[in-house]
C-alpha cells in the first residue's frame, strides 16, 4: 500500500495523493449495469450532474448516449486522471467543489457513485441539503449507496457506510424513494452492502 501524507478526505490533497499514486480501490473501471439500465429505460435524456466523478467513466457513457452531463471533482489530480481516461469526452469533466458549484441550469438528475460515502459522516446532512438545493421538485437523485448496520464501520473510511435508518431520516424531509434494489456487480469494497436507489425531489420548503 502506498504511503500517504494526507489523511483527511475533506481535503483535495487526500484525493490528489491517491490519484497521483494510482491508488483507487473504489474505482470499478467500467460503467455499472444499473446505470446502463437506467439510461436504456429513461423516457428522455436528462441534464445530469456527477459530483466527485473520479475517473469519469459514467460521464463518458452519458455523453455518448447524448445526455447533457457535467462531472465535477475538487481534486485536480482526479480531474486530470478522468480527462485522460475518457479522452474525447474530457470536456465534460471540470474541477469544482460540489458545495460551491453553481450550474448554469438546474440538473434534472444527480448521479451518485461513491461521493456520499467518500466524505466523513459529519458532512452527511450538508450533502443531502446540497442535493436538495440543486434539484428542483420532481428531479431525480439516482445511484449507489453504501449501507452497513455495524456502527464501527460507519466511522472507518473512506468509504464510510451508513445505516438504513439514519439514511432514511436524512432523506425523508427532501426526497421520496422510488426504487431500491440490491446491486449485482459491486466491486469488492462495496460487495453485499450496496444498493441502487432512485429518489425524487419532493415539492417542499427550502432545503435550508
- Ordered by start, the domain boundaries in the chain are 12-201
**Mean pLDDT value across residues 174-197:** 93
Q: How far is CA 140 from CA 38, 61, 90, 122, 195, in A?
A: 12, 18, 24, 24, 16
Give the pLDDT of residue 54.
85
Question: How would residue 205 be classed by pLDDT, with cut points 50, 70 and 90?
Answer: low
pLDDT, the chain, mean: 90
**Beta-ladder partners of 143:** 112, 197
Question: How would residue 15 be classed by pLDDT, with cut points 50, 70 and 90?
Answer: confident
CATH for the 12-201 domain, from 3.40.50.150, 3.50.50.60, 3.90.400.10, 3.40.190.100: 3.40.50.150
Return the ∠ at Cα 180 (arms to 175 and 186), rounded to 5°.
Answer: 120
Question: How would residue 26 be classed by pLDDT, with cut points 50, 70 and 90?
Answer: confident
CA pair distance 49, 37, nearest whole angstrom:
18
Take residue 20 and report the three cell numbers written for it.
497521483
CA pair distance 32, 28, nearest whole angstrom:
8
The SS3 call for residue 20 is helix
Question: How would residue 142 be classed by pLDDT, with cut points 50, 70 and 90?
Answer: very high
Those residues whose C-beta lies under 8 Å from the C-beta of residue 100, and which sit 6 or more positions away, are: none
Q: How do residues 75-133 score in pLDDT, each as one tens digit? A: 999 999 999 999 999 999 999 999 999 999 999 999 999 999 999 999 999 999 999 99
The SS3 call for residue 2 is coil
Whether residue 132 contacts residue 116, with contact meaning beta carbons closer than 8 Å, is answered with no
CA pair distance 163, 165, nearest whole angstrom:
5
Take residue 17 and report the three cell numbers written for it.
495523493
Give the pLDDT of residue 206.
56
Give the pLDDT of residue 190.
86
The pair phi, psi for residue 35, each rounded to 5°, is: -70, -40
**Mean pLDDT value across residues 122-150:** 94
Residue recorded with cell 487526500: 14
Global confidence as pTM: 0.92
Which residue has better confidence, 16 or 2? 16
CA pair distance 127, 54, nearest whole angstrom:
17
Amino acid at each position: 500500500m502506498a504511503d500517504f501524507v494526507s489523511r483527511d478526505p475533506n481535503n483535495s490533497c487526500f484525493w490528489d495523493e491517491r490519484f497521483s499514486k494510482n491508488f483507487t480501490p473504489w474505482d470499478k473501471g467500467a460503467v455499472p449495469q444499473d446505470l446502463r439500465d437506467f439510461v436504456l429505460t429513461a423516457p428522455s435524456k436528462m441534464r445530469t450532474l456527477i459530483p466527485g466523478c473520479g475517473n469519469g467513466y459514467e460521464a463518458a457513457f452519458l455523453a455518448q448516449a447524448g445526455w447533457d452531463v457535467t462531472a465535477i471533482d475538487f481534486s485536480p489530480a482526479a480531474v486530470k486522471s478522468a480527462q485522460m481516461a475518457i479522452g474525447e469526452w474530457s470536456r465534460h469533466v471540470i474541477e469544482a467543489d460540489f458545495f460551491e458549484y453553481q450550474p448554469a441550469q438546474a440538473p434534472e438528475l444527480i448521479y451518485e457513485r461513491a461521493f456520499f460515502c467518500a466524505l466523513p459522516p459529519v458532512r452527511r446532512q450538508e450533502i443531502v441539503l446540497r442535493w436538495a438545493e440543486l434539484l428542483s421538485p420532481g428531479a431525480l437523485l439516482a445511484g449507489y449507496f453504501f449501507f452497513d448496520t455495524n456502527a464501527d464501520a460507519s466511522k472507518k473510511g473512506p468509504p464510510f457506510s451508513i445505516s438504513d435508518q439514519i439514511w432514511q431520516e436524512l432523506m425523508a424531509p427532501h426526497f421520496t424513494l422510488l426504487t431500491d434494489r440490491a446491486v449485482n456487480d459491486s466491486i469488492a469494497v462495496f460487495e453485499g452492502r450496496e444498493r441502487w436507489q432512485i429518489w425524487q425531489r419532493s415539492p417542499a420548503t427550502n432545503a435550508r
